[in-house]
Copies of this chain bind each other. A is one copy, B any other.
């Protein structure tokens, strides 16, 4: 679960947010001053920081600059109702998103998720590589020997699932559970059909396979032919 640090001098807000986010499963830490906040960022390295701009001991933007100087942690800024220019200035100072007080819990959580998703996306820009296959998960683009593959959603998900377990045999049941999600009632034959399509698009057949191997009686595995 992601960890959150809230830097906010108003104790009531701090405790409220801490309680609510804890219930949602976040690990939450709090700091009442800029100095304390900085220390905790260094020590705890949270996944995201919620920063109140109205701290008593240091101007919010100054603190934001200092945070930016030492880490790339996403920062969601909370400001009192303000002008657009204020918001723009804040974002330009390096904030990743902003909230205008008073904000609802729903809003807060939405922003947190958005920011976390973005930073997670940044960390996974490296493609998955298996032999001549390259998979850019975020772009949902897969290439074979440099040429793009036209994959349907299920085919793509299936390929990603297999590519994340290169060399490991997975059962049809596993594939059904992970790629199809949901307690799905469909037959496992469906997996075979998609595997077949995937093979065709990878330029191979079951008999003459380079990447997708069948392990009789067990399941399927993706292998790196090199």
Q: What is the interface of chain A, defined by CB distance below 8 A to chain B?
A: 61, 83-86, 88-89, 92-93, 106, 110, 113-114, 117-118, 120-121, 123, 136, 138-140, 152-153, 165, 167-169, 174, 177-178, 183, 215-218, 221
Contacts and interface: CB of A to CB of B under 8 A. Distances in A.
Contacts of A139: 167-169, 221
A167 B138 contact: yes
Nearest to A117: B89
A120 B64 CA distance: 14
B86 A140 contact: no
Interface centre among A83, A85, A86, A152 (most CB of B within 10 A): A85
Contact of A216 (B110, B113, B152, B217): B152
B218 A121 contact: no
Chain A: interface secondary structure?
A: helix
- Nearest first, the 3 A-B pairs at minimum CB distance are A92-B123, A153-B217, A85-B114
Taking the full assembly, how many copies of this chain does it contain? 2
Contacts of A153: 215-218
Contacts of A221: 139-140
Contacts of A84: 114
Contacts of A140: 169, 215, 218, 221
Contacts of A93: 121, 123
12 contacts: A85-B117, A88-B114, A88-B117, A89-B117, A92-B121, A114-B174, A114-B177, A121-B168, A138-B168, A138-B169, A152-B217, A153-B217
Nearest to A169: B140
A117 B175 CA distance: 13
A178 B97 CA distance: 10
Contacts of A89: 114, 117-118, 120-121
Contacts of A92: 118, 121, 123
